């Protein structure tokens, strides 16, 4: 987030504290793509990701007085999004599987890549245990540092490292098996 955007969020938090309702809308607009992205990549279902985003922002509205700064706000949103996503899957309300036929084609041509391998990889990532899957999504999709992941998921940094190690090892083994024993 740019310094200007960070300053705008800080100002919006201040205005929220004195009862300015439009300031909350600014906060939502500034962070909704991050919340949606984490939820979508974990749940693999756009409508469920939208619902979860609404739940997260409703919870934020209820807890707004406890938010101390823009940095605290981002941390809080990531943490709550992670926990709510995992909770939803554990409760059985987020099978997380979307048919690849239902995913729209990108409007613009991206860099050359192998769509079959990408589909296979997403299926394999979706088959990982919840915590390991969330660690990978935060690291590689959201490009968060290990320390940030540990804070967002409220686990020790060594747990993040070991979860990532195990998840990547599992992915390599599953991918090798699916490719007929070829080492990846």
How confident is the model at residue 96, as a pLDDT? 46
Q: Are residues 2 and 76 in the same domain?
A: yes
For the chain, what is the domain count? 2
pTM higher than 0.85, yes or no?
no
72-100 pLDDT per residue, tens? 999 999 999 999 999 999 887 654 454 44
For the cut 70, the answer to whether the pLDDT of residue 183 exceeds it is no
For the cut 80, the answer to whether the pLDDT of residue 1 exceeds it is no
Domain ranges, residue 40: 1-95
106-135 pLDDT per residue, tens? 555 445 677 887 788 888 888 899 999 999
- Residue 107 lies inside a defined structural domain of this protein: no
- Residue 117 lies inside a defined structural domain of this protein: yes
Provide the CB-side half-sphere exposure for 75 (13 A, CA): 13
- Residue 81 lies inside a defined structural domain of this protein: yes
End-to-end Cα separation, the chain, in angstroms: 35
- Residue 58 lies inside a defined structural domain of this protein: yes
How confident is the model at residue 112, as a pLDDT? 65
Q: Are residues 42 and 87 in the same domain?
A: yes
Model confidence band, residue 143 (pLDDT cutoffs 50, 70, 90): confident
Rounded Cα gap, residues 72 and 130, in angstroms: 25
- Mean predicted lDDT score pLDDT of the chain: 85
Region 161-181: mean pLDDT is: 87
Q: Are 30 and 9 in contact (CB under 8 A)?
A: yes
How confident is the model at residue 121, as a pLDDT? 82
How confident is the model at residue 138, as a pLDDT? 92
- Residue 172 lies inside a defined structural domain of this protein: yes
- Residue 133 lies inside a defined structural domain of this protein: yes
Region 162-174: mean pLDDT is: 91
């Amino acid at each position: 987030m740019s310094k200007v955007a960070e300053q705008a969020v800080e100002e919006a938090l201040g205005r929220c504290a004195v009862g300015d309702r439009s300031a909350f809308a600014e906060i939502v607009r500034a962070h909704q793509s991050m919340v949606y992205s984490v939820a979508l990549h974990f749940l693999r279902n756009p409508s469920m990701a939208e619902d979860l985003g609404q739940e997260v922002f409703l919870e934020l509205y209820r807890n707004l007085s406890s938010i101390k700064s823009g940095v605290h706000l981002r941390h809080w949103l990531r943490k709550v999004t992670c926990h709510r996503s995992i909770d939803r899957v554990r409760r059985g309300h987020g099978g997380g599987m979307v048919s690849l036929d239902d995913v729209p084609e990108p409007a613009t041509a991206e860099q050359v890549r192998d769509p079959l391998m990408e589909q296979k990889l997403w299926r394999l990532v979706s088959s990982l245990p919840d915590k390991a899957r969330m660690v990978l999504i935060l690291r590689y999709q959201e490009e968060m540092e290990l320390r940030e992941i540990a804070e967002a998921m409220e686990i020790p940094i060594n747990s993040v490292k070991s979860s990532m190690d195990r998840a990547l090892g599992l992915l390599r083994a599953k991918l090798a098996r699916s490719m007929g024993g070829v080492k990846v």
